[in-house]
Each structure stands twice: as structure tokens, then as C-alpha cells.
A = this chain, B = another copy of it.
């Protein structure tokens, strides 16, 4: 008998009919001879509704009370799903995060799971019950309710799968899996059959919003194999797992883009040792995360232009801070640009293959797209470009690396 953890996102439990469908799928899995632990999110729209209620009271709700409020969303879902399962004749029991033994730190709103005491769940599974757990939540050591942040239900599922040594962890969502690029941008986007944790991490952090980053880190750490798939079909989705030899044969697994950054340039910055550190420490002090950085010589001798990108939500604040620094350091003007986009190619195969970067640059050049900045990691190359060329760049790169063709092992 296998143990399967299934996680259903907000869209998958968004209506009573969909909750019934989830119950049916759980029951099929159960009747196929498996033990089932189900993790559910709040019904679609519910969390935003609760956030709006809080914001009617104050723009800065108390974090502890916010978690008390938000955790009700998942609580409603587990009760309704357990009722639906029982109505269909299957024994089931709902668990709040705390009841499931999920203990976190006390960082309200972005808590991290520290331990899981799964005795109660194991007992119910032994008795043949389906266990329904509220995603996204836990309790700290003082029994305060905590939440894990957006997408936290994925992490709940992975953590439970790791703790219970589950045979599979299925993440049900409203898309069919992980694609080579955004299907809304390029119709040739292809569902990836298998992807490594590291590639998935790069895909997630670049804005492919299928899985919460932390849940992938968790899965990697505990070697939990994830199956990301749609709750609306029976098609297999994407397996996220350890890297293997077959994966390395593929140069590039996916193309992503991110329009949520903005660029800031300080011109004519006196070029002396430690000056970049001075600039970036002031920005870090404001809790703003800098992504790409490039320094180029400026026209005046011993001066440089320093450009970098930040999340677009921090753009206004960054401009203010940077203007102050520039003035303090005797630099020139500060120029901002919100109409930029970061296009990236991702693939573990890059490690062992050369010329991937040059092929990327050439593809963009062929389309007349100017590259403003470049950043690279072992398995990713990103280029900052003018936002208006985003879709063109994505399509060009998808074609250049022939991502519409399944890798050889997929045809087996």
C-alpha cells in the first residue's frame, strides 16, 4: 500500500462542485489501494477577501492577528472537503495546521516549518481514514497560529510528504504542468515531462508561478519527488525530481521572463574602492533586494556609471535613496527605467555545454534586441532588455533552442 500526498490549490477547490470533484479524485486514489493525505488551500479569492477586510481596518494589520484571520480560509476548505468525502461514504478527518502537528517559527505571515509531529495523522491513516490537512498554516511553540506565506500550501504538502515518507507528492493546480515557456506568450510552449529541482527553482524565481520556491527547496532537501498536474484532467503533468544524466543532455529546458523589475542608473560615480559597497549597503538597509548589477566606465576619467535592477514595487523608494547617495558622493544624475524586462534561459545542460550563452546573444541580436545587462548562474543566463521586446525575445529563444521538440528520452 502506497502513501500519496495530494495538494489542491485554490482554483481546484474554488466552488462546491470543484470540492466534490476533488473528493472524487481522492476517493479514486484511495480505492486504488493507497493511503491518502490531502492538503488544501483556501477557496479561490477567499484569501484576498480576508486581506481586504483587514485593510478596511488598517493598512498595516498586526501580523499575528493577520494569521489568525487568513488561516480561516484553509479551515473552511478542510471542513467542506471532509464533509464531501464523508457524504460519499469515505471516512475522513480534517486537521488544522496545529492539529497536524506542524510547528513553525513565530515569523507571522512567512513562518518556516520547524517540525511535524505526525502521530495523530499516522493513526488515522492506519485506521483507513483519509486525512485532510489545512495548507499554509501551523502553530508556533506558544500555540499561536502562523501562516507560511503565499503558496505556502505547497510547502505544507511537501513537508508532510517528507515527514510521512510518502511514495508520491502530487501538486494539483489549474495548469497542466510546467511548460518550456508561458503558453500565453508562445503557442509552441511544450509541457516538460521531467525537470530537476534546480531548474524548477530558477523557473519559479523567474516568475513561472506554478510552485512556491520554498516548497521546491524543501522537496530538494528531502528528495521528495513532486508531480505537478491539473485537477481538471487525468493527463500526467510534470515530474520535479533529482537531476539525472538524461536531463543533462538537454541544453535548455525553459525560457522565462520577468517584467517586475526596474532599472536605476547612477551616472558619473567617482570610481574609487568601496564606493559600490557604500551605494548598495544603503539600499540593503531599506530591505530592498538588488538583482542585476553592471558597472561601466563613464566619459569622465576615474568615474563610472553604475546600473542595477530592483523589484518594481521598490522602484520609487530606490530612486529616492539613490538620489540622496548620488548627491552625497558627488555623482551625476540618477536615471530610472521601468520599461525593462528580464528574459532568461534555464537548463542543467549548460554546465557541460559551451556556446549556450553566445547562441542566446546571437538570437536576440538577430531580432535587433539590445541587451542592457547580463547575469549568469551555473544553470541560467538572464538578459535585461527593453520591455516591449519581451515576447519577441521569448519566441526567438524558444525557437533557437528548439524547445518545442521533446528531448529524446521523452519519446521513449
Contact = CB atoms under 8 A, between A and B. Distances in A.
Interface stretch (A72-80, A186-194, A336-344): A72-80
Contacts of A82: 62, 65, 68
Contact of A58 (B56, B72, B76, B87): B87
B53 A65 contact: no
A215 interface: no
A84 interface: yes
A59 to B, nearest CB: 9
A61 interface: yes
A82 B71 CA distance: 15
B87 A57 contact: yes
A204 to B, nearest CB: 30
A53 B68 contact: no
Contacts of A61: 83, 87
Interface residues of A, number: 34
Contacts of A66: 79, 83
Nearest to A78: B68
Contacts of A93: 64
Interface string A82-118: 1110110000011010010000000000000000000
A19 to B, nearest CB: 7
A72 B69 CA distance: 9
A69 B58 contact: no
Interface string A38-63: 00000000000010011011100110
B75 A62 contact: no
A365 interface: no
A143 interface: yes
A65 B40 CA distance: 15
Contacts of A54: 79-80, 83
A224 to B, nearest CB: 27
A16 interface: yes
A73 to B, nearest CB: 8
A84 B57 contact: yes
A129 interface: no
Contacts of A145: 96
A20 interface: yes
Contacts of A78: 65, 68
Contacts of A20: 57
B62 A86 contact: yes
Nearest to A72: B72
Given A62-B86, A65-B79, A71-B75, 20 more contacts: A16-B56, A50-B76, A53-B76, A54-B80, A58-B83, A58-B84, A61-B83, A61-B87, A62-B83, A64-B94, A68-B75, A68-B78, A68-B79, A68-B96, A69-B76, A69-B80, A72-B72, A72-B76, A96-B145, A99-B143
Top-9 shortest CB links A-B: A69-B79, A72-B72, A68-B79, A58-B87, A16-B56, A65-B79, A65-B82, A62-B86, A65-B83
